Amino acid sequence: MSEPASASNQAVTAHQDAEYRHGLIAARIDRLPLGSTQFLLAAIMQITWGLVVALDLVFARIYPFIWQPKGQITSFEFDLLLVFNTGIGILIGEYGLGLIADKFGRRPVLVLSALFAGGFIWEIAFSNSFWPLLAWNTLYAVGVGGALSVVNTYMHEIAPVSARGQLSLRTQLIALLLSAVIGSVPAFFWIPQHYQWVLFLDAALPLLIVIPLVLVFVPESPRWLAAKGRFDQADRTVQKWEEKASRTGPLPKPEAVEATVTEKVPTRELFTGTYGKRTILLAVVWFLAYGGMIYGQGSYLSLFLVGTDHFTAHQLFAEGLVAGLVGAAVFLVFSNIGERVERKTIIVAGCVVYLIGGCLLPVTHGVSGPFILAIIMTLGEYIFFMNLYSYTALSYPTRLRSAGTGWTDGVGHCGSALSPLVAGPLFTATAASMNYGWFIWILLPGTFIPGVLIAIFGNRQSGRALELLAE
């Protein structure tokens, strides 16, 4: 009887030792000062965001100037394309590639995401009928979804606990600048005459910039390696970071935190206990926000500004560029706040900014007034969803982080179906009355309710170790 007991005790001891080693790896990352190592890796994550994630809705931005005037795509077909691009394709990418990221690592999924996004978007340039557009819009969206599930996950896994907010907000301005410049400047000069060039550029950047950056500079997440019991690999990466950081002075002694080691991805945990409550809250918030503030607005704001306020293509894309530049400046200011303000407070502030712009836009006419108000709405949207992505990633432990982010945000993307099914009909039905039905939809259930839910039920995240924060 003693031998089985001894074997059992050894197994328990080995498991405890593995959990201690995982917790020690996490503590060694958290004690590092914020420096060039973290900023480089976080910057590459945000470059991935700006060149891959920002590709969603490319079709919707081109549609009013190409396929709609030619009558090649009906309004019903346009709505279906939105469902498959912003909903089904991204859901497949977020959940499917998110599971792969939790099972096989963050790094390969970053490469796969760029391959899908860049490899399947350029074909849209040669497509002028519904079915080819449906296929390419869905396939490239898989890459967008994959990047969504990993970018913020990786960034927060390499961030020191005391500088998590500073690192994320300061580097997120890179994503805003890139998405604004790449999404607006080429379109300003090339649409409508050379809209194919825009799509070729959108395809080339993930393939020629993102993939080489990831392969050359991005190591696998040491937190993920430790969670899988690959301590030697994790130790080698963290040791390099420590050697570089110690050049500026001695590092504080690491204090191991509680952490779990498992090779499996226990997805059942997403739907039970504390994580189950978080999953429900985040899925509902994302679902409503995607149907309203994000895609409910994004899919039709161009049509509103062109149809009601008679924006030209130049004015429309200039608005997107200015909004990105203003957003980057605001994020730079927010980055100095760091962890002193709760992330959920910043999320609610984004809702308030958006509501101010959205309430004033339908009663303001001309070009300059709507131009400024559209920028205010876009700014509020940036503040909301960029911080909600970070908040979502921080709500789950390492073993579930990509799957949890992918599932909640992926299901949330199904809310984009509300854009053509609800926002679209409301937009059309109330077109003669400043599209008031559409405005009510994007402002009340699409913005106000998500803000209230986060304000009431959101958990506090500032200043806690990543492993403790998610438990």
Minimum mean pLDDT range among 36-45, 114-123, 428-437: 428-437
Q: Is the pLDDT of residue 274 over 70?
A: yes
Q: Is the pLDDT of residue 310 over 90?
A: no
pLDDT score of 12: 46
Minimum mean pLDDT range among 147-151, 160-164, 184-188, 363-367: 160-164
Minimum mean pLDDT range among 4-18, 28-42, 49-63, 357-371: 4-18
What region does 229 belong to: left with phi over 0, alpha with psi -120 to 50, or beta? left
Domain ranges of the chain: 37-244+267-469
Question: What DSSP designation does 194 have?
Answer: T
**Mean pLDDT throughout 216-236?**
94
**Mean pLDDT throughout 19-44?**
89
Q: Is the pLDDT of residue 9 over 70?
A: no
Cβ(460)–Cβ(344) below 8 Å: yes
pLDDT score of 401: 83
Minimum mean pLDDT range among 322-326, 414-418, 425-429: 414-418
What would you report as the CA-atom Rg of the chain, rounded to the nearest whole angstrom?
23
pTM for the model stands at: 0.80
d(CA 16, CA 6): 15
**Mean pLDDT throughout 254-276?**
72
Which fold does the domain 37-244+267-469 belong to in CATH?
Growth Hormone; Chain: A; (1.20.1250)
Cβ(448)–Cβ(285) below 8 Å: no
Tokens of 217: 């500079």
pLDDT digits (tens, 9 = 90+) for 368-412: 999 999 999 999 998 998 889 889 988 888 777 877 888 888 788
Cβ(276)–Cβ(113) below 8 Å: no
E strands in 153-251: none
Q: Which residue has the higher pLDDT, 393 or 420?
A: 393
Cβ(376)–Cβ(57) below 8 Å: no
Q: Is the pLDDT of residue 2 over 50?
A: no
pLDDT score of 55: 86
d(CA 397, CA 375): 36
Write the single-letter amino acid at 189: F
d(CA 86, CA 89): 7
**How does residue 260 score in pLDDT terms, banded at 50, 70 and 90?**
low
pLDDT, mean over the chain: 86
**How does residue 457 score in pLDDT terms, banded at 50, 70 and 90?**
very high
Q: Is the pLDDT of residue 10 over 60?
A: no
**Mean pLDDT throughout 311-322?**
84
Tokens of 153: 């996950």
